[in-house]
Amino acid sequence: MILAGETINLDLQKLPSPCFVVDQEVLEQNLAILNQVQELAGVKILLALKGFAMFSTFSLLNKVLAGTCASSVDEARLGREEFGGEVHTFSPAYSQETLTQILKLSDHVTFNSVSQWQRFKPFCAQFADNVQFGLRLNPKHSEVSTPLYDPCASGSRLGITPEALANVDMAGINGLHFHTLCENDSFALERTIGAIEKTFGDYLASVDWVNLGGGHHITKPGYDVEHLCQTLLNFKNRHQVEIYLEPGEAVALNAGVFVATVLDIVHNDIDIAILDCSVSTQLPDVIEMPYRPEVVGAGRPGSKEFLYRLGGSSCLAGDVVGDYSFADPLQVGDKLVFTDMAHYTMVKTTTFNGVRLPAIALANGGDCRIVKDFGYDDFKNRLS
């Protein structure tokens, strides 16, 4: 396995740089946990493509997961063509054109507002033999402390509020969708379910399924899988509904690293290592969230002798990972390995500043194969 704490069983010199390396064995371990949840709780789990869409792994993932969840025509198409199983699509708003395509690609289509559902309901009726329809609801119960990731924050555009749902005709609606969590445990889900039942209890009786969204940190060490299963079973028994979960992060948690190379070392108040990657284009969550990724062999400032600021190779002044200390001085050519970089990374990369997209590799035991590398055309094709 690649990622056992500080050790890394990977021939870094043989890899292109920068490069995402996904570990099939960790994906399999995560899948085993998710499969246990499906079997013990009798629920279906979908892969949220927004979090992880490395389709060369789909033939592994689709052996266990029931399908994919999409937020756009292109994600729905990727799910349909490359993953198989069920395709569930939710988007904050559809145009007539995107909805027409999404209806042809999806098994479930969920609307974010009463106005969109009512506007498109007559059109959707002709797809009702093949497509189930849902409404995304907002129970106004926050469990997420970072506002950027809290769909229940005040003023959120995501999900129908209890006030907006009052007196709405539910004919034609087969299910309800909730996505309110982010990296949360099963106790946050239990509290959320309590809020859902309190706020929308009457509506649960009239639907066939409830999709409890993503944000469940199921594969994180220490997550109480037994409590999750019991919570889901109780919910299912109380309401006689089919339950879906659609995690992205939990599927690929800890299943990949990002390898970059030191290109130069400069000094301006602090030693700065300039890497051949870019945080703003290749690991944008580091800046957006923000958070501090772990680097194998490195510690917080002061914990080891040699301190460096790690920065990227775009021209953005803030293209900086953070300050890290190392036991030995860094040298030009050194490889740095960032951990837990499979989810919300390769799906978010851009070619800003002409920074080339990182290669993607798949490791399996001792084998490591480059499944994709990128070039000038990938930059040029986005422009005209």
Interface residue list for ligand PLP (CB under 6 A)? 48, 50-51, 69, 90, 179, 182, 213-215, 246-250
Residue whose Cβ sits closest to ligand PLP: 214
Joined tokens for residue 126? 């002709």
Cα(230)–Cα(244) distance, integer angstroms = 15
* Residue with Cβ nearer ligand PLP (213 or 358): 213
* Residue with Cβ nearer ligand PLP (229 or 250): 250
- Which amino acid, residue 361? A
* Residue with Cβ nearer ligand PLP (175 or 248): 248
Residue 199 exposed, middle or buried by CB count within 10 Å (0-12, 13-18, 19+): middle
Q: Is the separation of the CB atoms in 345 and 285 below 8 Å?
A: yes
> What number of helices (H) and strands (E) belong to the chain?
12, 16
* Residue with Cβ nearer ligand PLP (25 or 285): 285
- Smallest gap from Cβ 352 to ligand PLP, in A, equals 22
Closest CA to 67 of 51, 55, 79: 79
- Smallest gap from Cβ 48 to ligand PLP, in A, equals 4
- Smallest gap from Cβ 304 to ligand PLP, in A, equals 32
Cα(31)–Cα(25) distance, integer angstroms = 10
Placement of tokens 């284009």 in the chain = 281
- Smallest gap from Cβ 279 to ligand PLP, in A, equals 20
Closest CA to 22 of 1, 46, 50, 47: 1
Joined tokens for residue 277? 């990657």
Q: Is the separation of the CB atoms in 215 and 182 below 8 Å?
A: yes
* Residue with Cβ nearer ligand PLP (75 or 319): 75
* Residue with Cβ nearer ligand PLP (69 or 173): 69
Pairing mode, strands 270-275 and 256-268: antiparallel
- Smallest gap from Cβ 145 to ligand PLP, in A, equals 14
- Smallest gap from Cβ 272 to ligand PLP, in A, equals 33
Cis peptide before 16 (omega within 30 of 0): no
Closest CA to 157 of 76, 71, 248, 91: 91
- Smallest gap from Cβ 207 to ligand PLP, in A, equals 17
- Smallest gap from Cβ 178 to ligand PLP, in A, equals 9
Phi and psi (nearest 5°) for 7?
-100, 150
- Smallest gap from Cβ 194 to ligand PLP, in A, equals 20
* Residue with Cβ nearer ligand PLP (1 or 347): 347
* Residue with Cβ nearer ligand PLP (244 or 308): 244
Joined tokens for residue 256? 């990949």
- Plot region of 358 (φ>0 → left; ψ -120 to 50 → alpha; else → beta): beta
Q: Which long-range contacts (CB under 8 A, 24 or more apart) does 374-381 make?
A: 378/351, 379/351, 379/354
* Residue with Cβ nearer ligand PLP (36 or 156): 156
